[in-house]
Amino acid sequence: MRALLPSIAAVLLCAACGRSDADARRARLGAERRALEATLDHLEDRLIVNQARVRFWREMQARHESVTAVACTSQEEHAIEMARHVLPDEPARRAGRRASIDRARVAAAPRAPAPVPVRAAAP
C-alpha cells in the first residue's frame, strides 16, 4: 500500500496540473484565433474597398474612351464641313474637292511632336 500511495498522489497531482495547463492553453489559443479572425476581417474589408476602387477606375476609363471617341468623330465632321464651306463650288475644282477634304481631315488630326533639329558642328 505504501508503494501505491505515492503513485496515486503523483497521478492526482499530474491530473490537477494538466487541466489548468490545458485550460490556459485553450484560452491562449482561443485568444489567438479571435485575433486572427479580426485580422482576416480587416484584410477582407480592405480587399473589398480596393476591388470597388478598381471597378470605379475601370468604369471611368471606359467613359473617357467613349467621350473621346465621340469628340474625335465630332471634330472630324466639323473639319469636313469647314472644308466644304471654305472651298469654292467651281466645276473645275469639284474634281479636286475630295482631295481637299482629305487634306482638311489630315490637318484636323492631332500632330506628332516635331523632331528637334540638330546643329551641325562648325568646321
What are the domain boundaries of the chain? 4-85
Give the Cα separation of 96 and 122 in Å (integer): 46
Question: What pLDDT, in 10s, does the model give residues 97-118?
Answer: 566 666 666 555 566 555 656 6
Give the Cα separation of 60 and 80 in Å (integer): 30
What angle (nearest 5°) sits at the alpha carbon of residue 47, between those of residues 49 and 28?
Answer: 125
pLDDT at 7: 73
The mean pLDDT of 52-68, rounded to a whole number, is 94
Prediction pTM value: 0.42
